[in-house]
Structure formats: C-alpha cells, structure tokens
Structure 1
Amino acid sequence: MTLAHGCTNRFVQKSFNHSGETIHRHFYKVMAAVLKMSANIIKPSANYNDEVPALY
C-alpha cells in the first residue's frame, strides 16, 4: 500500500492492525527486493543522453 498508493506508515498500521515496527520492517524488505529487481526493470534507452534538452 505504501509503494502503490503512497499511504503513510501510520495509515498502514491502522488498516492492517500491526505495529509501526512491523510495517517498517516489511517495508524495507520490499524496498530491498525492488532495488534488486531495478537493474532488470529500469533501463535507460541506448540514446538516453541524446534526448536530454540543452540547458539555457
């Protein structure tokens, strides 16, 4: 819920009836998994620098 909907830790605590420590622990486990997958999911295109507009 936090990643997909931007819900706060406190909102997730109340929604799922868990402590802040439990939500925090699981949030960081999910973030670690997303970080591991990011190299396969988020890849810039080959001409990435060509698409950046020049600064004035």
Structure 2
Amino acid sequence: MAEDLFLCFTYYKHDDFHLLIGKVHFVDTYKREFRIVDYHDEIHKLKQDDLIDVKIN
C-alpha cells in the first residue's frame, strides 16, 4: 500500500485457480479480506483464506 506497487495475486475460488494483478487498496482485518484495485480501476475483494501466492509484478 505504501509502495504503490502492482502485485500478482493467485487465489483459489470455485474449484479453480485465478490470477489478479492490481494494487492493495484496503486490508480489512475484521472480515479477513483484501480490496484490490486492478488496471481498469475495478475493486475486487479477496478472502485471506483463498489466497495462494502474492508476487511483485
């Protein structure tokens, strides 16, 4: 968040692996989820339990 970097998130949802590239907008520790803004300025919510890997893009 402080570095303003695009990250590559790998997550598991609906019996399949998915990739999402974006910046962390908000970390909700109560709901245990990340809000990610992608290249098209769309907000995605990822559950912490669904995350497999995070890499610097």
Greater relative contact order: 1 or 2 (C-alpha under 8 angstroms, separation 6 or more)? 2
TM-score range, shorter chain: under 0.3
Answer with 1 or 2: which has the greater Rg.
1
TM-score normalised by structure 2 residue count: 0.15
Higher helix fraction (1 or 2): 1
TM-score normalised by structure 1 residue count: 0.15
Higher strand fraction (1 or 2): 2
